Structure 1
Amino acid sequence: MTEDNQRLTHLDAKNQPTMVDVGDKAVTQRSATAQCTVVLGKEIMQELTQSGGKEEIYSKKGPVFQTAIIAGTMAVKKCSELIPFCHPLPIEKCKVLIHVNDAQEVVIECTVGVTSKTGVEMEALTGANVAALTIYDMCKALSHDIVIKECKLMTKSGGKRDFSRG
């Protein structure tokens, strides 16, 4: 086993993929926030905001942000079904916030909380990504020149070490 593989938690002693054993970990309150940015483009934003504004945009499929919030929440709850080594978790908190920033980009923040032996970074990242994909789906009839960019973990707390993207 290489030195790098010793740090990878999803490989066993024989270098085979495995789910992390969390049996001996302490149950703690854990949370994570992830963020995705969607660039719809000036023309799409102009067309969509005429009927809504910065709090919501509407397509022929309906309210874009509200639908993305629901999709992101559903994705958080299904994360262990999508990512092979994620543990199923009893999600206690899930909040998806969406707004348009000054650069006319759609910013999605997904915050997830749980009291468990493992963290919720993957759940937060999955929720933010699926919300972004939902925005793409709802707006693609106007243009396929939509860019989903910069999906990243912003904060995590409650595990072995906390993280914050300053």
Structure 2
Amino acid sequence: MSQDFPLTPGLTHLDEQGQARMVNVGGKTVTARVAVAEAVVRLSAETYRILTGEGMPKGDAFACARIAGIMAAKKTAELIPLCHPLGLDAVDVRFELDEATHSVRVEAEASLVAKTGVEMEAMTAASVAALTLYDMCKAVQKDIVIESVRLLYKAGGKSGEFRAK
């Protein structure tokens, strides 16, 4: 039985019995691939002010979150059971501050040349960077909300380009 195609229609990680399986990417073409994901961290006005102004009690939250996101992207296959281990070419984590909503938009970008995409690596990086911001700010605020973890863009491979609406 070949594993080069989905055995359960539309769900490539399940076989015809509904059992989890790692997708065989051996026959896929090597292409340049990129993915961009985001997560939004909503803070109170006070926490936002401290985070963006005076500094946090635990230190530079943004530097710590950036490094955590990059490290997480590199560890994605260890965290998500059916992800392929990838040799990433680049990972970048950026922050966009929104004073009006007291939020931080975390954007993570991952890229490589390979047989499989980097969507999970970008989403893992954005998620862990957001969680790290929570960890850095929890001494000041416990009810921080992390929301909207999603894929914004991907390119490369057979499915081509995707851009979120």
Asked whether the two chains share a fold, i.e. TM above 0.5, the reply is: yes
Match of 2:85 in 1: 88
Q: Which runs of 5+ in 1 are unaligned?
A: 52-57
Aligned match of 1:62: 59
Q: What does the per-residue CA deviation read over 1:4-40, in whole Å, with 9 as the maximum and x for residues that have no partner?
A: 9311000113321100000110000001000000001
1:8 is the counterpart of 2:11: yes
Partner of 1:54: none
> How many residues are matched?
157
Aligned to 2:114: 116
TM-score by length of 1: 0.90
Question: What is the aligned partner in structure 2 of residue 164 from structure 1?
Answer: 163
Q: Name the residue aligned to 1:140.
A: 138
Residues 33 and 114, structure 2, Cα contact 8 Å, conserved in 1 = yes
Q: Which residue type is aligned with residue 63 of structure 1?
A: D
Superposition deviation, residue 117 in structure 1: 0.4
Q: Distance in 2 between matches of 1:15 and 1:165?
A: 29
Q: Is the 8 A contact 2:96 2:105 kept in 1?
A: yes
- Distance in 1 between the 2:20 and 2:50 partners? 47
Q: Which moved more, 1:11-20 or 1:31-40?
A: 11-20
**1:50 and 1:122 mapped to 2: Cα distance?**
32
The DSSP-based 3-state class of the residue aligned with 2:70 is helix
SS of aligned partner of 2:15? coil
CA-CA distance at 1:163 after TM superposition:
0.5
- 1:113-140, Cα deviation, whole Å (9 max, x unpaired): 0100000000000000000000000000
Residue type of the alignment partner of 1:108: V
Could you list the runs of 5+ residues in structure 2 that have no partner in the other structure? 1-6
Q: Output the CA distance in 1 between the equivalents of 2:51 and 2:106.
A: 17
Question: Which residue of the partner structure matches residue 50 of structure 1?
Answer: 53
Which secondary structure does the structure 1 equivalent of 2:47 belong to? helix
Query: Counterpart of 1:165 in structure 2: which amino acid?
Result: A
Quick one: which amino acid aligns to residue 23 of structure 1?
G
Residues 61-86 of structure 1, C-alpha deviations (whole Å, 9 max, x = no match): 11011100000000000000000000
In 2: Cα distance, 1:50 partner to 1:13 partner: 55
Q: Which of these residues, 129, 145, 150, is aligned with residue 148 of structure 2?
A: 150
TM-score of the superposition, structure 2-length normalised?
0.91
Q: Does 1:100 align with 2:97?
A: yes
